[in-house]
Amino acid sequence: MRGNKFFVALGVGVLAVCAACSTAEPQTQAPPPQIPKITPSTIPSRVPVMVDRALPDDCELVVSVEVMNATLGQELPGEPRIIIGIKEPGIGRTGKIDCYYGIPPKKNLPEAKIVIGLSTYNDDLTARTRVAESVEAERAEGAKITEVDVGKQKGTLVEGKDEQLVIGSLGKSTFVVRNRNNFLPKEKLIAVLPVLAAQSMTPPV
């Protein structure tokens, strides 16, 4: 290392001390390795949550194709098709839509793999009542009934002979996700249907 250097020379009774004649220059050292600094984002993130939402007019706003395929772990054929239902004042229903996913080319609605239906009613009690009546009707037909988590809500898994579904309500709205034509095996029902149900009640962020 360069710097001030001192040399001591011993002669006969003489001690000579000589300082270096050149001005010392600090040695350039390699900078210490830079440690990446992770700065938390100051932009607030929006966590999707289920809400008592107005009925969408597009299946992409119910469950997008991207989310559907990611949840299923495979790509469904065709494009989603929407059917807009009518109001039924007699049962307190104010609106209804059904989205059909996985319809093969040149096939019709009955060939869909997954069907998601959303309905709105006059009030919360009417919505809950409609769900309860539907569940009891399925039970009477011999379906297996199981309570499941749908997001932070509760829903009901109905395992019937011809189809399996998750149904529930949130506020004035009801949701139902149907597994058609035995598309999903039994062991995947709880892993998939409640996830799609929660997404159907979650507006895009």
Residue 67 Cα to chain centre, angstroms: 7
pLDDT in tens, 117-134: 999 999 999 999 999 999
pTM: 0.77
User: 107 forms bridges with which residues in the sheet?
Assistant: none
Answer whether residue 1 is part of any domain. Answer: no
Could you tell me the residue range of the domain that residue 105 belongs to?
A: 59-201
Listed in sequence order, the residues at least 6 apart from 183 whose beta carbon sits closer than 8 Å to its beta carbon are: 102, 113, 114
Answer whether residue 172 is part of any domain. Answer: yes
Answer whether residue 33 is part of any domain. Answer: no
Task: List the CATH number of the domain containing 135.
Answer: 3.40.1000.70
pLDDT in tens, 77-109: 999 999 999 999 999 999 999 999 999 999 999
Answer whether residue 54 is part of any domain. Answer: no
Q: How many domains does the chain have?
A: 1
* Range from 12-16, 122-126, 132-136, 180-184 carrying the lowest mean pLDDT: 12-16
